[in-house]
């Protein structure tokens, strides 16, 4: 189950490349990709910062988040990942 259904995505939502997401990998700007959607998480948790700037879908699902946690994710939604540009670039740290 994904965090935000297709009907929740606003028409004209911003679309980001993986390169753009990869550059947002620090505590003040921690972007994550989960199920093809981009979230700007406030960070704080070390595990979140480890996943910042990359696809965190597998890690997100491995934790087994509650329905409430999935609902909370909606407030951090900022856009979609570009559907064609899907090869990952390792960001500089």
Task: Give per-residue pLDDT as tens, 23-48.
Answer: 988 777 889 999 999 999 866 677 67
Binning pLDDT at 50, 70 and 90, where does residue 7 land?
Answer: very low
pLDDT of amino acid 1: 41
pLDDT of amino acid 79: 95
**Domains of the chain and CATH, by start:** 6-81 (3.10.120.10)
Backbone torsions φ then ψ of 77, nearest 5 degrees? -65, 130
- Residue 88 pLDDT exceeds 60: no
Which pTM value belongs to this model? 0.73
Contact between 22 and 88 under an 8 Å Cβ cutoff? The reply is yes
Task: Please give the mean pLDDT across all residues of the chain.
Answer: 78
H or E element, residue 77: strand 77-81
């Amino acid at each position: 189950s994904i965090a935000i259904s297709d009907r929740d995505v606003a028409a004209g939502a911003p679309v980001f490349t993986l390169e753009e997401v990869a550059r947002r990998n620090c505590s003040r700007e921690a972007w994550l990709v989960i199920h093809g959607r981009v979230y700007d998480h406030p960070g704080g948790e070390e595990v979140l910062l480890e996943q910042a700037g990359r696809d965190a879908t597998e890690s997100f699902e491995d934790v087994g988040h509650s329905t409430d946690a999935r609902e909370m994710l909606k407030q951090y939604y900022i856009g979609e990942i570009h559907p064609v540009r899907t090869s990952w670039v390792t960001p500089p740290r």
